[in-house]
Structure 1
């Protein structure tokens, strides 16, 4: 079965704006997905990136304008300066890793629910109650927020190393099993065309 490795940060606004389109594309083409949340902030200095707070002012202005335009085009609510950003992405990432391992729920709903909580609902996704609510809403056992923390931490660290070694430098980032790489929510159309054999 064709496969996609999905690298992302749970505090990435562009991953939020991707919505569940990647999962819809994967379903259309019968493609499996492995969710690989990783520490994007730790990856920046290793991959030529710069954390938003350290970027040239002009880039920051453009980023906010691009986010606003993209959200409007997609019909998605967004708070350009959320109350809880940046926050610690590790706890929500551990929960996603645990949920993927446990199974039984909707990974697309969980991942998007966490991203939406940060970027549209003014919630702190580092807080256990927020993570539990997202797990429950996606059909997972909310106790996954507490269990498997050690395994989650180990996988989260491994995902960072995997990301760097596979040339990942942003979020969202999609890699097919043929090593075709797609960066950004605006590359999802190209991903669809590639899986269709048209690109």
Structure 2
């Protein structure tokens, strides 16, 4: 009995006869699958702004302090030395017996968008943490530079400045020679924190 010959698959035949459209279809399918996979990964790793803030606060001050946002920052009588630097938020520890504040800042350095979290405990800066930056200098690696801001009573000074800035107001610190603009951005961020902290603690509105 003769074996019945199988008819070729019409789709396979069409793909062989039309190589260019077939290539486009295959690439489109690959792109679609890759997009779906990427979307799934993003969905799994997505953090809401609130979740990201909570994570950064916990990372900045590794203690179950609890945080209360300081409202109406614009009411305080503060004049920053650099108009491109802003204090974006302030948080106070809600834990009993804790005198801890965390401030978030935004400044422009060599490139735009240097965002920091600055932790103040008992009126002294104990940590400066980058939360977002496009700067080439990794500020966390410049310990000798950052150490100049630590353990200074913010209620007794009029802010900070680097030796490369034009202003003469505030405690002077030495900028990193190879990263002057980023150093100035960090100093301006700490400067505005120092001024706001002094105003908040003194009720200077």
TM-score interval for Structure 1 and Structure 2 normalised by the shorter chain: under 0.3
Structure number with higher helix proportion? 1
Q: TM-score, normalised by structure 1?
A: 0.22
Q: TM-score, normalised by structure 2?
A: 0.22
Q: Which structure is higher in RCO with an 8 Å CA cutoff and minimum separation 6?
A: 1
